[in-house]
Amino acid sequence: MNFQVPELGPIVPELILTTLALIILIADLFIKRKEIVALMSIASIIIVTFALISSSGTTFGGMFISDGYSTFFKIVFFINVILCVLISMKYIIIEKINYGEYYSLILFSTIGMMLMASAADLIVLYLGLELMALSTYILAGFIKHETRSNEAALKYMLLGAFSSAFLLYGISMVYGLTGTTDIKTIAAIISERGLEGNSAILLSIMLLTVAFGFKIAAAPFHMWAPDVYEGAPTAITAFMSVGPKAAGFAVLGRVFMVAFASIKIDWATILIIMSILTMGVGNIVALSQTNIKRMLAYSSIAHAGYALLGIIAANNEGLASMMNYMMIYAFMNIGAFAVIIMLRSEGFRGEDINDYTGLAKHHPWAAALMLIFMFSLTGIPPTAGFIGKLYIFLAAINAGYTWLVVIAVIFSAISAFFYLRIVMFMYMREPKDEVVLTTSAGTGFVLGITTIAVLFIGVFPSYLLGFARAALAGF
């Protein structure tokens, strides 16, 4: 037997995180105060961040790649974890689900996302996706005593399994056509065997599109999102709306831009249709929502539509603007969810938009922060959301999709209705009865970080975009 230990350098962050996640899982048995478990998971993310900086290269026979692209996304995932864990600490006590497994599942899910971002092989991609998804299914159903949450988990799992079937079918077909699952080799074999116009390869791409579209909640594969986002614990909704979506975009970018680069025109057409549908459904249905979590679910669908423009542009500029958008979205969306979580208190859900009536009177700070995040989600300068959209749109225009950008801008204008409606409720109406805010150091910290990030990126956007561009060097 010729067994060689593969080079572990590039994969050190994943290894460390897995080890630490398992340690936390066991340590949870002995730790009474679950806040310590939460802090341990944040600490482990910080340790992994240091490991991440120095890791690069490919390993396991080219199945795993650590490059700038994956590193950028991993940083998005880390930010997502840290912020979501911080807003969870108090929240899960209120929801009476203060168990340590919560945090280790978040970490496992993150490992899955990291594997997706680094996957250079379709099998690793699939397994990473399942690891991420399985952990999220459980987290979505974490509030066992609430039907809503159970329902969310079950729906998510059933539909997730359905989409996995599409993914596997697509992967198997690609394997049948090319004899490989390695993303780089697929591209080589497609051009070598002249498969560009083959309808079977197009079919497999479409099947992959269905599965990835499901993960990023793009219409018409978005149906799960509102129900699941509404039912899941709010902190997990925040987690899900950023992490899995970013991971979905990471694989979408890598698979389509590397493996199927030669068939750009075909998948771009489909993505254009999907993107228009997604922006349309997300923005229009959000108008008639009264539950803020559900509204943000549709908003998250709409944002997937905007970000798709970056992939449609199909060049490094487009990818960079998409990555930029993901980072910005992480900050502004989690910020908004942090405010929502503050409204949740013992015996008060605070999810109906009527609960925001006159918030500015009693809680001017909370209202002001919500205002910033709503402005950012709408895309009003000088917030980060404006920058994100601007770069995405500019990239699409430079790639020749001006008409598509016009549509996106129209939908973006429609979105102002429902985002600013929250602002109007908070500022222009008299409060009915006083809402008690649940504040904690964690939430306060998250609000501080996200607000600063949203404003800083809005005013000084070139650092982040420069980082995204640099990450794409050699992609």
Partner 1 sequence: MKLYVLIPFLPLAAFIINILLGKEVLRNKAHWPSCLAIIGSFIISVITLFDVINGRVINEDLYTWIISGKFQVSIGFLVDQLTAVMLIVVTCVGSLIHIYSIGYMHGDKGYYRFFAYMSLFVFFMLMLVMANNFLLLYVGWEGVGLCSYFLIGFWYEKRAAADAGKKAFIVNRFGDFGFALGIFMIFLTFGTIHYAPVFSEVKNFVGHTVNFLGFEVDLITLIALLLFCGAVGKSAQIPLHVWLPDAMEGPTPVSALIHAATMVTAGVFMVARCNAIFSLSPDAMIVVAIVGAITSLLAATIACVQNDIKRIIAYSTLSHLGMMFIACGVGAYAAGVFHLYTHAFFKALLFLAAGSVIHAVVHNDIQRMGGLKKYMPITYAVMFIGALSAGGIPGLAGFFSKDEIIWSAFASHSEVGKFVWIMLTAVAFFTPFYSFRMIFLTFHGKFRGTHHEEHHLHESPNVMTIPLMILAAGAIAAGWAGIPSVLGGGAHFAHFLEPVVGHPEFHGTHAQEFGVMGLSTTIALIGLVIAFVFYIRKTDIPVMLARKFKFFYVVLFNKYFVDELYNLIIIKPTFWIARKFLVGFTDAKIIEGIVNGVPKAIGVFSNKLRRVHTGIVHHYGIFMAAGAFFIILYVLLWR
Partner 2 sequence: MILELFFAYFAFAIIVLSIVVITRRNPVHSVLWMLLLFFHIASVYLFLNAEFMAAVQLIVYAGGIMVLFLFVVLLVHIKEEIKISKFIGAWSAGFTFAAALFVVVALSLRSFVVAPPGKYTIELIQQETHTKALGKLLYTEFLFPFEIAALILTVAIVGALVLAKRRLKS
Instruction: Report the residue number, 197 or 474, with the smaller CB distance to partner 1.
Output: 197
Return d(Cα 88, Cα 41) in angstroms, integer: 12
Number of residues that bind partner 1 (CB under 8 A): 48
Please identify which residue in 35, 130, 146, 266 interacts with partner 2, judged by CB under 8 A: 130
Return d(Cα 215, Cα 218) in angstroms, integer: 8
Return d(Cα 44, Cα 238) in angstroms, integer: 20
Residue 127 binds which one of partner 2, partner 1, none, with CB within 5 to 8 A depending on kind? partner 2
Pick out residues in 335-394 that bind partner 2 (CB under 8 A): none
Please identify which residue in 37, 143, 207, 251 interacts with partner 1, judged by CB under 8 A: 207
Return d(Cα 110, Cα 465) in angstroms, integer: 24
Name the token pair of 89.
Answer: 């600490």
DSSP for 364-410 reads HHHHHHHHHHHHHHHT-TTSHHHHHHHHHHHHHHHTT-HHHHHHHHH
Instruction: Report the residue number, 83 or 122, with the smaller CB distance to partner 2.
Output: 122
Please identify which residue in 284, 353, 416, 436 interacts with partner 1, judged by CB under 8 A: 284
Q: Closest separation between CB of residue 469 and partner 1, Å?
A: 10
Return d(Cα 167, Cα 130) in angstroms, integer: 11
Instruction: Report the residue number, 341 or 384, with the smaller CB distance to partner 1.
Output: 384
Q: How far is CA 242 from the centre of its chain?
A: 3
Return d(Cα 294, Cα 327) in angstroms, integer: 22
391 binds partner 1, rule: CB under 8 A: yes
Residue for token pair 């050190």: 12
Torsion angles phi and psi, residue 436, rounded to 5: -90, 130
Pick out residues in 12-51 that bind partner 2 (CB under 8 A): 18, 22, 25
Select from 47-55, 133-141, 228-236, 406-414 the region that touches partner 2 (CB under 8 A): 133-141
**Inter-CA distances, 224 with 151, 154, 294, Å:** 11, 10, 11
Diameter of the chain measured on Cα atoms:
77
What does the binding site for partner 1 look like in residue numbers (CB under 8 A)?
154-155, 158-159, 162-163, 166, 197, 199, 202-203, 206-207, 209-210, 213-214, 219-221, 223-224, 226-227, 266, 269-270, 273-274, 281, 284-289, 317, 387, 390-391, 394-395, 398, 414, 417, 460-462
What does the binding site for partner 2 look like in residue numbers (CB under 8 A)?
1-3, 6, 18, 22, 25, 60-61, 63-64, 96, 99, 101, 104-105, 108, 111, 115, 121, 123-124, 127-128, 130-131, 134-135, 137-138, 141-142, 144, 153, 173, 175-180, 189, 193, 195, 198-200, 202-203
